[in-house]
A and B are shown apart, each in its own frame.
Chain A
Amino acid sequence: MVNFIIRRLGLMVVILFLVSIMIFSLVHITPGDPARMMLGQEATEEAVEALRARLGLDLPLYQQYLNWAGGILQGDFGNSLKDNTPVLTVLMQKIPVTIQLSIFAFFISLLIAVPAGIIAATRKGTFWDYASTTFALSGVSIPPFFLGILFIYIFAIILGWFPPSGYVPIWEDWKQSILLMVLPAFAVGIRLSAEIARMLRSSMLEVLGADYIRTAYAKGLLGKPVIIGHALRNALIPVVTVSGLQLATFLGGAVITETIFAIPGIGRLVVDAILTRDFPVVQGAVLCMALAVVIINFLTDILYSILDPRIKLSGGN
C-alpha cells in the first residue's frame, strides 16, 4: 500500500509536468493575441507591441514556459494579464465555489441513484424497475442546461421557492447559500444520478445472480442484509469508478450551468480567460483541474481496496 502510494505520487508529478507543457503550448498556439484583446479593436499596432513587451509576451516561448513553471514550483502561478491579480488569488476565490457545487450535486445524485438502482435491480421487471429505468434514461438524455432553465422557470419564477440565480459563500449566509445551490445542484446532479443508477442496476443484477448470494439466501439470511451487506458492496465497484470520473468532471466546472445560475465558479473563469486570452489564468486553472482529476483517481483506487479487500494495491511488479 505504501509502495503504491509512493508510486502513484511519483506518477502524479510526471502527469502534471506533461499536462503543464500541453496547456502551455495549447494556450500559446491559440490564435488571438492577449495584447490585442486587452487593447480592443481600435488600438494601434504600436500600442499592442508596447503592451506585449510590458507583459513579457515577446520573449521566446521556452523562456516564457520556464518562467511560468519555475514560478509554480515556488507557489507563484503568475498574475492575470488583465488586471495583475495573482492567479492563485483568483483560483482561491473560484475553487471553493466549484467544490461546493460539485459536492452538493454529487450528494444529490447519490441520494437519488443508489435507492433507484437497488430498487430497479431487486424488482426487475416491475413497475418500479421501469420507472427507475425511464428516469435514468431521461436523466442521461436531458442536458443539464435545459434542466437548469426549466428549474428556474418552475421553482424560481412560477413558484418563487428559490432565488433564480446567484451565489453566496456558505460561511457568510449558510441558509441562503444552500437555497441558491439547490437548483443548480439538481440540474447537474440528476444527470449523474441517472448514470449511476443505470450502472448500479446492471452491476447489482450481475452480482445478485452470483453463487455467493444464492449461498447467503440458502443459509437462511433475509433479503435486506443480503442486498445491502453482500450484493451492494460488491456491486459498488464499477459505480465508484463512474462516480469518481464524474466528480472529476464536475471539478472542471459546469460552464453552462454556472452561466445559467450566475455562479462564479472555475468553469466560467476559464471560459472568460480563454475568450480574453488571459494566458496565466487559463494555465493555472487548467492545471488545477488536472490536479483534481489526478487526486480523485488516486482516491478512487484506494476506495477500491476498501470495498473489495481482494484488490491489492501493489507498488509495481
Chain B
Amino acid sequence: MKKSMLLITSLILLFILAACNQDKSSSSNATGEKTATEKKSENTLVVGLDDDPPQLDPHFSTSAVDRQVFQNIYDKLVDINEELEIIPGLAKKWEISEDEKSYVFYLEEGVKFHDGTDFNAEAVKWNFDRMLDDSLGLPRTSELSTVDKVEVVDEYTVKIHLKETFGPFLSILTDRAGMMVSPTAVEEKGADFSNAPVGTGPYKFVERVKQDYLLVEKNEDYWGEKPKVDSITYRPYSDENVRTTNFTSGDVDIINKIAAKDVETLKNNPSVTVSEKEGIGFQGVYLNTTTEPFNNKALRQAFDLVIDRKAIVDVALQGTAIPAASAIAPGSWAFDDSIKVKETDIEKAKEIMSEAGYPDGFTFTLKISAKVVEEQIAQMIQSMAKEAGIEVKIETVEFGTMLEQMDNLQFQAARLGWSGRIDPDGNIHSLFRTGGSINYGYSNEKMDQYLDAARSAVEQKDRKEWYKKAMALGQEEVPYIFLYHESDYKAYKNYIEGFEHVPDQMMRFKGVTVQ
C-alpha cells in the first residue's frame, strides 16, 4: 500500500516537476527556438516540411520537398512570381534570337557563392556542362536535352544555343535546371556536395541531422535585397497530423501541405493564416493502353464516363481540389475552357460497352499507393464503376514497387498524378508524348505531332492552339482519366509577413519578416 502510494506520488511529482520546468522555459521548443510570445526578439523561422529532403544537390534532385529548401540556398537564372510571369534572377535580363534558337543571358555582376567563388559566365557554363554530362545519370540531362552548347560571351554574358526551338526553355530554368551550384565546392567535395551544398542564395547551409532538422542562416553578403530572418530551421514531419499539431501548438511557424480535413479547422484559427493557391498539377488514373482491357479504346471511354469527379472532390478531398478535364490546370495560360470536365453518364457508358461487345461490363485491377485518401478515392471509383457493371479490383502497392511495375507496364490501371510544371509542356508533353517522361505505354502519332508542334511553336497563341487539339484528342482517346487538380495550401502564423505564395508551391523566404 505504502509502496504504491509512493509510486503514484513520485509519478505525480515527476509530472509537476516537468510542468514547472516547462513553465520556466515555456517558449523554447525542440531546437531552442522561441515561439509565439518571444518571436519578436528572436528573428528565426521554423518550417514544417512534408518530408525529409532526400537530396540537396539540385542537379541530382527529383523530389518536390528538396526544392522547398533549394529556393533559399540557391538562386536560379530566372524565376517566376505569383502571377506565373518569368522574372529576372541571376540573369538580370535576357534576349532571345529571331529564330528562337539562342538565348543570351546578362548576369548580375559581383555575385559570389557562399564559399567565395565568383559567379560569372564561366560558372554558368560549368553548371550546364555538368547537367548535360551523360555519364552522371542526372535527372536534369533530359530536361535540357534541347541545349546544344553554352558559350561564354564575356565575363557576365552567356549564350545558350538550342538544337531546336523549345518554347518551355525559360520556364525550365525557373526550377532546378536553372539553379547554380558552386563549381569549386562540387570539385572539392565530389559526391559529398549534397551534404554541404553551396549556392548563391539568400540563405547559407549550416548543418543538418537527417530526419531531424536542416539549418540555414542569413547570407549577409547576399547580392539582392538582403534576407530579413536570421536563420531558418526546416523540420520534416512526414505525418500530416504530426505536422499540423506541431504547427498549432506553437513550435513550427509555417507548414507546407495541409490535409484536406484540417483546412477548415486551420482557417478558423484566429492566429493562423491559411494561404490557398490553385494547383498546377493533375491527379488521375493511368490506363495501360498496351494490354487488356484498356487496349480497347471503347472500354477506356466507358470507364471515363462512369466517374463522378465532383463527388470525389467533395467527399474524399473535402473541396480542396477542382474537377479536372485535362493535364492543364485553370491557372495556366494554355488552359482552354472549351475542354470541359466529363459529365457522368452511366447509360452512355453501358451503350459504348455493348457496342464494343462487352454488354455485361468488364473487370480490371486498379493499383493505388497506401494512403487513406487514395483508398477513399479508389473505393468511390469502385462503386461508381459498379453501376455500369464494371468491376474494379483495388490493389494497394507500396509506392516504389508501383513505379517499377508501371515502368515495366505491369498494370491495368494505376492511380498516380503529377505535381505539375509551370509550363504546360512539362505536364501534357510528358504525359501524352510517345516515350514522354511520365507516359506509361501510350502512343499516338497524331498526339505526338500536336505536342511536338506545341513545343517548337514560337508564339504562345500558336502553342495554345496545339495544346487545345492535344487535350481534345486526349479526351477522346482516354489514355489517362483526369480526376482533379489539387489546390496547394500553406499555413503560417500571423506574425509572419511578406510571404508570397507562388504557384509552383515552393516557399521563398527572401522577403519574409517575423514581427
Contact = CB atoms under 8 A, between A and B. Distances in A.
B54 A82 contact: yes
Contacts of A39: 62, 137, 139
A166 B30 contact: yes
Contacts of A262: 30, 212, 235-237, 242, 246
A303 to B, nearest CB: 24
Contacts of A44: 142, 437
A225 B55 CA distance: 61
Interface stretch (A59-67, A234-242, A267-275): A267-275
Nearest to A256: B239
B246 A168 contact: no
A31 to B, nearest CB: 5
B400 A115 contact: no
Interface residues of A, number: 70
B245 interface: yes
Interface stretch (B187-195, B336-344, B493-501): B187-195
Sorting the interface of chain B by its residue count into under 10, 10 to 19, 20 to 34 or 35 or more gives 35 or more
Interface stretch (A4-12, A153-161, A283-291, A293-301): A153-161
B209 interface: yes
A229 to B, nearest CB: 15
Contact of B404 (A32, A166, A268, A272): A32
Contacts of A33: 404
Nearest to A155: B15
Given A84-B191, A157-B249, A259-B242, A179 B21 contact: yes
A83 B209 contact: no
A85 interface: yes
Nearest to B15: A161
A54 B137 contact: yes
A87 to B, nearest CB: 12
A162 interface: yes
B18 A166 contact: no
Interface in A111-155: 111-112, 115-116, 118-119, 128, 149, 152, 155
B28 interface: yes
A22 to B, nearest CB: 20
Interface string B6-22: 01000100110011011
Interface in B164-223: 191-192, 194-195, 209-212
Interface string A11-26: 0000000000000000
A309 B216 CA distance: 58
Contacts of A112: 7, 11
Contacts of A264: 209-212
B515 interface: no
A179 B63 contact: no
A42 B209 contact: no
Given A176-B32, A272-B52, A276-B54, A47 B139 contact: yes
Contacts of B4: 115-116, 119, 128
Contacts of A261: 242
A149 to B, nearest CB: 8
A275 B249 contact: no
Contacts of B398: 32, 275
Nearest to A271: B238
Nearest to B51: A272
Contacts of B14: 182
B142 A165 contact: no
Contacts of A85: 192, 195, 210
Nearest to B6: A115
A179 B248 CA distance: 19
A44 B405 CA distance: 15
B291 interface: no
B62 A84 contact: no
Interface string B121-161: 00000000000001111110110000000000000000000
Given A41-B403, A173-B32, A259-B239, A47 B22 contact: no
A48 B19 CA distance: 53
Given A32-B401, A33-B404, A47 B142 contact: yes
B403 A37 contact: yes
A272 B418 CA distance: 22
Contacts of A38: 54-55, 60, 62
A218 B136 CA distance: 83
Q: Which among B63, B139, B248, B398 has the greatest number of chain A C-beta atoms within 10 A?
A: B139
Given A33-B404, A161-B19, A164-B249, A93 B210 contact: yes
B438 interface: yes
Given A163-B30, A175-B21, A260-B239, A115 B246 contact: no
Interface string A169-204: 000010110111010000000000000000000000
A85 B246 CA distance: 29
A95 B139 CA distance: 33
B372 interface: no
A82 B60 CA distance: 9
Given A165-B245, A175-B25, A42 B438 contact: yes
Contacts of B430: 42
B3 interface: yes
A84 B195 contact: yes
Contacts of A159: 19
Nearest to A277: B400
B399 interface: yes
A304 to B, nearest CB: 26
A42 B404 contact: no
A210 interface: no
Q: Which among A36, A41, A53, A259 has the greatest number of chain B C-beta atoms within 10 A?
A: A41
Contacts of A53: 137
B101 to A, nearest CB: 23
Given A43-B62, A44-B437, A163 B137 contact: no
A155 to B, nearest CB: 8
A33 to B, nearest CB: 6
A51 B210 CA distance: 23
A40 interface: yes
A259 B400 contact: no
A160 B210 CA distance: 27
A231 interface: no
B453 interface: no
B56 interface: yes
Contacts of A276: 54, 400
Interface of A: 30-33, 35-44, 46-54, 79, 82-85, 90, 93, 111-112, 115-116, 118-119, 128, 149, 152, 155-157, 159-168, 173, 175-176, 178-180, 182, 259-262, 264, 268-269, 272, 275-277
7 contacts: A30-B401, A32-B398, A47-B138, A47-B139, A51-B137, A83-B54, A165-B245
Given A40-B62, A84-B192, 11 more contacts: A40-B139, A42-B142, A43-B437, A51-B137, A83-B57, A112-B7, A115-B7, A152-B245, A163-B29, A165-B242, A269-B210
